[in-house]
Amino acid sequence: MAEFLYLLRPHLTLSRWRGRKSTALGGGQWRQTSWVRKYRWRMANGRAALLTAKARKECLLPTGLSENSQNRSDPVFCMMRGTTTVTKESEKRVRKQKKGAAVPPQQSHSSVHFDIHDHRILDADGCLVGRLPECAKQPDQLIALYRIMVKTRLFDEKAIALQRRGQLGTYASSLGQEAIGAAIGTVMADDDVLFPAYREYAAQFLRGVTMADILLYWGGNEQGMNFKGQRHDFPICVPIAGQAPHAVGTAYAMKLCDEKRVAVCVIGDGGTSKGDFCEAINAAGTWALPIVFIVNNNGWAISMPRKRQTGAETLAQKAIAAGFPGEQVDGNDVIALTDRIDQALHKARMGIGPTLIEALTYRLCDHTTADDASRYRSGQEVKEQWHYEPIKRLRTYLNEIDCWSESDEQELLASCHDEVEQAVSCYLNTPPQPPESMFDYLYQSLPAALEEQRASVVQWSKGNE
C-alpha cells in the first residue's frame, strides 16, 4: 500500500504554511501570497485519528488568496472572514453526567480548534488575486466557463419572460448564481451523480439536461425531469434538503461497490437548517463517503436573511461538527469555485471522504417568480451586490488577457439566443401530459387510496374534453 498512515496524536498541531511567489501574466505583473490559515486540531482523551498521507497533503494545499488584494469593503469578502474556536466537554464527563453520577470538577480542558479557510482567485474587478489552477489555466477553459454562464443567464431571462406571459409556471431564477452551476458541471466526471436543488441549471446543461427539459418541468410536465440526455443525475428538488439524504444513500452505495464515483449535493443556505441536511452530513462524515456538499449561500431563504438562519458564524463549519472539512469560497468567482470543487471531488474519489464548500454569492433575483423581494430587502442592497456578480468579472479578465472581443461577445449572444428560442419552441410544441399523469411517477405501484383518486381524475378529465 503506497499510502502511509499517519497517527495524529493528541495535541498535534498542523501549523501554518506560507509561500510567496511572483510571476508575469497577460503582460502585467502580479504578486500573490498563497497561504493557508492555521489548521490546528487538538484532540481530546487520547483519541487518535488516522489520516492517509494524501489527506494530510490535501490539508496543506495552498489556497491562492492574496492578503494584499483583499478588498475589505467587499461584503462577500467580509462575510467570508471567520475564525471560530469550539470547546467541548470530555466525553467521559458527559457520560458520567448522563448516568447521574457525581461529576468531579473538570480537571483537564479538552478542546478542538478550527479555522474556516476562504478562497478567491478572481476579484470583483476581474483582477487575478491568486494563481490560476490547472482546471482553468488555458484560455479555452476560461472561455468555456464564460460561455455556460452567459447561456444560463439568457435562458433565465427567457424563462422569466415566459412565466410573465402565462406560458410557464412558477420559475426559480439563478440570476447572479451562475458561477456555482458552471463550476460544478465543469469538473464533475460523467458518471458522478448530481443532486441539484433548483438553481443549478448551468451544471445541468453541462451534464446533458436540455433547456427544453427545464422548461417542461417548470411548465408542470414531469417529463421534464425524465432527462433523455442524462439518465443518472437526480431531478430538481424543491422540497428543501430532501436531496441530501438521497445523495448520502447514493454515495454509500458507491462506496460499498468500490466505485470511483462521487455524489455532488447542492443545497441552499436555508437548507442547511433542515434536519435532513444535518443527518446527511453526519452520516457522510461517519462513513467517510465519496460526497461533496455545495452550499449555495445566496444570503436569503425566501425572505429570511442568512444571519437569522443560524447562530453559526459560517455554514462551512457545520462540516467540522460532522467530522470533515468545510471551507468558504467566493461563490461569484467561477475560477476559485472550479478549483475547490475539483479538489474536493478528487479527495472524495481517492476515498479520503466528504468536503463541504460554502459558496458565498447573492440572489440578485426574487426568490421565484411568485415572490416580490422588494417587500423585504432594499433596492440599495441589491444594487450594491451587482458589483460582485460573476459574469462581468470573468469577461473583464478575458478582455484583459486579450482572449475575448466584442465580436466574440456578439457571436455568443446570437448563438445562445438561437439555442434558447429552439428550446422554447420545443417546449411550447410539446403536448401537455394528461392530468392523471401526476399520479404516475411517484410510486412503483400506486397505493389503493391513490388508485381511486386517479380513477376520479380520469373520469373528471373525460367530462372536460
Ligand X SMILES: Cc1ncc(C[n+]2csc(CCOP(=O)(O)OP(=O)(O)O)c2C)c(N)n1
Q: Among 12, 49, 302, 457, which residue sits at the site for ligand X (rule: CB under 6 A)?
A: 302
Tell me the β-bridge partners of 330: 360
Which is the catalytic residue, given 119, 120, 340, 367? 367
Nearer to ligand X, 200 or 342 (CB): 200
Binding mask 167-206 for ligand X (x = CB under 6 A): --------------------------------x-------
Residue 331 binding ligand X, by CB under 6 A: no
Identify what 94 binds: Mg ion, ligand X, none; CB under 5 to 8 Å per kind.
Answer: none
- Least distance from Mg ion to the Cβ atom of residue 164, Å: 23
Active site residue 367: yes
Q: Which residues of 128-143 are buried (b: 16+ CB within 10 A; e: fewer)?
A: bbbbbbebbeeeebbb
Nearest to 46 by CA among 77, 95, 12, 69: 12
Residue 428 binding ligand X, by CB under 6 A: no
Residue 269 binding Mg ion, by CB under 5 A: yes
Q: Could you tell me which stretch among 80-88, 300-308, 339-347, 436-444 binds ligand X (CB under 6 A)?
A: 300-308
Nearer to ligand X, 132 or 337 (CB): 337
- Least distance from Mg ion to the Cβ atom of residue 333, Å: 18
Sign of the dihedral defined by the CA atoms of residues 151, 305, 198, 316, in that order: positive
Output the nine-digit C-alpha cell for 279: 443527518
- Least distance from ligand X to the Cβ atom of residue 198, Å: 7
The stretches of 139-200 forming alpha helices (DSSP H) are 139-164, 178-187
Q: Among 270, 331, 353, 354, which residue sits at the site for ligand X (rule: CB under 6 A)?
A: 270
Nearer to ligand X, 62 or 242 (CB): 242
The Cα 403–Cα 397 span in angstroms is 9
Q: Could you tell me which stretch among 76-84, 113-121, 266-274, 420-428 binds ligand X (CB under 6 A)?
A: 266-274
Q: Among 268, 326, 331, 353, which residue sits at the site for ligand X (rule: CB under 6 A)?
A: 268
The Cα 332–Cα 330 span in angstroms is 5
8 Å CB contact between 175 and 365: yes
8 Å CB contact between 290 and 261: yes
Which is the catalytic residue, given 153, 363, 393, 427? 363
Strand order in the sheet with 355-360: 118-119, 326-330, 355-360, 291-297, 263-268, 193-195
Output the nine-digit C-alpha cell for 424: 422554447
Q: Among 82, 130, 271, 285, which residue sits at the site for ligand X (rule: CB under 6 A)?
A: 271
Which residues, at least 6 apart from 316, have a Cβ–Cβ distance to it below 8 Å?
116, 295, 326, 327, 328, 356, 357, 358
Residue facing ligand X at closest CB distance: 268
Q: Among 298, 317, 368, 385, which residue sits at the site for Mg ion (rule: CB under 5 A)?
A: 298
Active site residue 441: no
Active site residue 146: no
Which residue's C-alpha cell is 480542558? 109
81 secondary structure, DSSP code: -
User: Which conformational region is residue 304 in: left (phi greater than 0), alpha (psi within -120 to 50 degrees), or beta?
Assistant: beta
Identify what 318 binds: ligand X, Mg ion, none; CB under 5 to 8 Å per kind.
Answer: none
431 class by beta-carbon count within 10 Å (0-12 exposed, 13-18 middle, 19+ buried): exposed
Nearer to ligand X, 283 or 365 (CB): 365
- Least distance from Mg ion to the Cβ atom of residue 306, Å: 7
The size of the interface with ligand X (CB under 6 A), counted in residues, is 15
Nearer to Mg ion, 112 or 302 (CB): 302
CB atoms within 10 A of CB 439: 17
Nearer to ligand X, 268 or 325 (CB): 268
User: Which conformational region is residue 113 in: left (phi greater than 0), alpha (psi within -120 to 50 degrees), or beta?
Assistant: beta
Residue 224 binding ligand X, by CB under 6 A: no
- Least distance from Mg ion to the Cβ atom of residue 281, Å: 17
Identify what 354 binds: Mg ion, ligand X, none; CB under 5 to 8 Å per kind.
Answer: none
Q: Among 173, 296, 317, 361, which residue sits at the site for ligand X (rule: CB under 6 A)?
A: 296
Residue 268 binding Mg ion, by CB under 5 A: yes
Nearer to ligand X, 51 or 203 (CB): 203
- Least distance from Mg ion to the Cβ atom of residue 199, Å: 9
User: Which conformational region is residue 257 in: left (phi greater than 0), alpha (psi within -120 to 50 degrees), or beta?
Assistant: alpha
The Cα 340–Cα 122 span in angstroms is 13
Residue 239 binding ligand X, by CB under 6 A: yes
CB atoms within 10 A of CB 306: 18
Active-site residue set: 363, 367, 376
Q: Residues interacting with Mg ion, by CB under 5 A?
A: 268-269, 298, 301
* Interface positions with ligand X (CB under 6 A): 199, 238-240, 268-271, 296, 298, 300-302, 363, 367
